[in-house]
């Protein structure tokens, strides 16, 4: 979990969304929680700023995901929850990002890491936040692996100002490689 030294005033336009976002759990993470609730073993390992969680599915197959949660240092509320899992059947990486509410949807959300830049579209918003999910580009994974700095999600506030939420690539490569190896078995 990252605590970022972000001044509270920067997120004034997102305050309502941040407060509502504190209970968000993405569908990928719910799978691990469901496994634990059903009495199946869940193993967690921290790799830098990334958490690798592996659990046994109902079919007795080990599934893994990696995640990073960014928390506001003053309020303790969630600003961002990033989750990724490798789907060996489709040979693709599936992502789910949960962002705070109260930003403009039409411009999309900028995703920036190293030389990688993309605009992601929000799939849906709910009380806990706005969700971006689906397959991710291989270029994003490669940018995360080679990153020497943090990445950012950039969105437009309702006041028309750009607001960025930074995330870390520290530990991503190790967590990702382990997750992919486990999910490819």
The CATH number of residue 67's host domain is 2.60.40.1880
Q: Which domain holds residue 78?
A: 2-183
CA pseudo-torsion sign 157, 12, 25, 66: positive
What is the predicted pLDDT for the residue at 22?
A: 35
What is the predicted pLDDT for the residue at 24?
A: 37
Q: Cα–Cα distance between 164 and 2 in angstroms, integer? A: 15
What value does the mean pLDDT of the chain take? Answer: 83
Instruction: Render pLDDT for 115-134 as a digit per residue (tens, 0 to 9).
Output: 999 999 999 999 989 999 99
Residue identified by tokens 């190790």 is 174
Distance of CA 99 to the CA centre of its chain: 9
Domain count of the fold of the chain: 1
Closest alpha carbon to 150 in 4, 51, 41, 11? 4
Whether this prediction's pTM lies above 0.75 is answered by yes
What is the predicted pLDDT for the residue at 166?
A: 96
């Amino acid at each position: 979990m990252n605590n970022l030294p972000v001044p509270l005033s920067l997120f004034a336009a997102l305050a309502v969304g941040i407060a509502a976002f504190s209970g968000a759990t993405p569908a990928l993470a719910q799978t691990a929680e469901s496994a634990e609730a059903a009495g199946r073993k869940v193993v967690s390992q921290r790799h830098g700023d990334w958490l690798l969680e592996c659990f046994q599915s109902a079919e007795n197959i080990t599934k893994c995901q990696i995640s990073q949660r960014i928390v506001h240092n003053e309020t303790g509320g969630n600003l961002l929850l990033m989750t990724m899992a490798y789907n060996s059947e489709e040979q693709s990486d599936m992502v789910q990002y949960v962002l705070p509410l109260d930003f403009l949807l039409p411009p999309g959300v900028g995703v920036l890491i190293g030389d990688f830049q993309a605009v992601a579209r929000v799939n849906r918003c709910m009380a806990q936040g706005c969700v971006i999910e689906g397959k991710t580009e291989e270029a994003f994974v490669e940018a995360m692996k080679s990153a020497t700095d943090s990445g950012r999600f950039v969105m437009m506030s309702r006041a028309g100002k750009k607001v960025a939420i930074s995330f870390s690539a520290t530990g991503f490569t190790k967590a990702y490689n382990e997750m992919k190896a486990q999910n490819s078995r």
